[in-house]
Amino acid sequence: MKTLFAFVLCVCLTSTRAVSNDTDSIPPLRKITIVASNNHLLGERYKTLMLPPDCNVQYFKQMRDIVRKDIDVSRLAEFDAMKALTKWVSTLWNHDGRYVPPMSVSAIDMLANVKRGMRYNCEGYARVLFDALSAHGYVARMVFLRKKDSEYAGIGAAHVAVSAWSNEHRKWIYLDPQFGGYLMKSGVPQSFMEMAHGVAQRDTCEFVVMSGGNEQFRSFVPTFDGFVSSLMKIGDSFRFVSMPIDSMATQYLSFQGMPADGTVFTNNPNHLYMQVNEVSLTFYSKSKVNFDSIMAKYQIDDANEYLRYMPLFALGPKFDVRLDNNMPWFSHYEYAVNDQAWTRVKGAMLPFVVQPGRNDLRVRAVNARGVPGPVTSMLLSYE
């Protein structure tokens, strides 16, 4: 950088040097340009998610075995697998709003209790679906929905469901295991907040129940018009991060007359709907030349001469590409160029040579269950 500053200063001066005549030896300038890219700096909000540290522990292996006795989602596409798991959970017992599963009771414990005749409320369904999704490598969280008047309302002022991250659609989607339902718009799965805002704007959203009628699901879910919340890790403690659905909802200290301890509020959608499982690329050139020696050899001291000799020091095609991710349960990176198959990257540094023409570089992260995240793509031209 100091050299460049020195050059900028010297081009303002008058030079009496003899201009070199060996321009015939200068190759044509070849430029590397980024034609299209979705590469960007990754956020750190995924670290606030309440996720198990490992999706391959014995507990989740046992959960996969339990699921496999009824359905096999291992060969299904992402959203199809999520829908199948949601439908499966909805069929396990008949809803009973009187029974909230204690925190000491795991999802597997609940399934055993159900076989003995126990029934649970919406939170029970949500906890079983959360563990089933985690066991199969899908990032999810439980979401708690509240009505505006829930501070001193009677029973039924809240509902618990699941929000799952879709790698395919690069967004969070709403799954309701009590009803075996989900939300769609124009063929794209929706989050709860997208549905709620659409209802407020008289927009249409399809309420899909995979078994039975849709009318109860359609009439029930939009009534939760106050807040959407999720338990998240903030600093060294866990809090309920709660976001109003619209500007008319006021912050609260109670729920159905009881304390709503540990709640913090946000108006920023990214605090609940952060991006996850993505990859960021940082390029470091390996095609470096001695800029100072070229400047001295050709006595370059004005802008025209700088452009004339640029091919001698212009950016070359060899790079090391540093890879970073925000993927829970990260295992490794994979990359592909143009129509090539995906190849595993050794470590977090990708050696990459830009070839003449167009180069479609694609990179993704893969988690410990073999689930690939969204693709970061960069289309580069070398002409």
- The pLDDT, as a whole number, for residue 24 is 61
Q: What is the pLDDT of residues 137-166, one digit of tens each?
A: 999 999 999 999 999 999 899 999 999 999
Three-state DSSP class for residue 217: helix
- The pLDDT, as a whole number, for residue 100 is 93
Q: What is the pLDDT of residues 307-355, one digit of tens each?
A: 999 999 999 999 999 999 999 999 999 999 999 999 999 999 999 999 9
Whether residue 18 sits in one domain with residue 108: no
Tell me the HSE value of 340 on the side-chain side, using a 13 A CA sphere.
Answer: 13
Fill in the DSSP letter of residue 232: E
The values of phi and psi at residue 178, to 5°, are -65, -40
Domain C-terminal end among 250, 271, 292: 271
Report, as an integer, the average pLDDT of 361-367. Answer: 98
Tell which residue, 159, 167, 160, 120, has the closest CA to residue 142: 160
* Mean pLDDT computed over every residue of the chain: 92
Whether residue 242 sits in one domain with residue 140: yes
Measured CA to CA, the distance from residue 335 to residue 218 in angstroms comes to 42
Report, as an integer, the average pLDDT of 35-54. Answer: 96
Whether residue 77 sits in one domain with residue 33: no
Would you say residue 8 has pLDDT above 60?
A: no
Q: What is the CATH number of the domain that holds 32?
A: 2.60.40.10
Could you tell me the residue range of the domain that residue 285 belongs to? 2-40+277-382
- The pLDDT, as a whole number, for residue 23 is 57
Interhelix angle 122-135/78-90, rounded to 10 degrees, is: 140
Chain position carrying tokens 């988690």: 367
- The pLDDT, as a whole number, for residue 204 is 79
Domain C-terminal end among 271, 288, 323: 271
Tell which residue, 72, 56, 260, has the closest CA to residue 158: 260
The values of phi and psi at residue 91, to 5°, are -95, 0
For strand 263-265 and strand 237-244, is the pairing parallel, antiparallel, or unpaired? parallel
> Which of the two residues, 213 and 82, has the higher pLDDT score?
82
- The letter for the amino acid at 383 is E
Strands (E), 110-236: 140-146, 158-166, 171-176, 181-185, 188-189, 206-209, 227-234
Whether residue 264 sits in one domain with residue 327: no
Tell me the HSE value of 3 on the side-chain side, using a 13 A CA sphere.
Answer: 8
Whether residue 267 sits in one domain with residue 283: no
Whether residue 319 sits in one domain with residue 258: no
Query: Count of domains in the chain?
Result: 2
Would you say residue 9 has pLDDT above 80?
A: no
Tell me the HSE value of 252 on the side-chain side, using a 13 A CA sphere.
Answer: 26
Would you say residue 1 has pLDDT above 60?
A: no
Domain C-terminal end among 271, 290, 325: 271
pLDDT band at 200 (very low <50, low <70, confident <90, very high): low
The string of DSSP letters for 246-305 reads STTPPP-SEETTEE-TTEEE---GGGTS---S-EEEEEEE-----HHHHHHHTT--SHHH
Whether residue 129 sits in one domain with residue 59: yes
Tell which residue, 145, 155, 96, has the closest CA to residue 124: 96
Task: Quickly count: other Cβ atoms within 10 Å of residue 167's Cβ.
Answer: 22
Q: What is the CATH number of the domain that holds 140?
A: 3.10.620
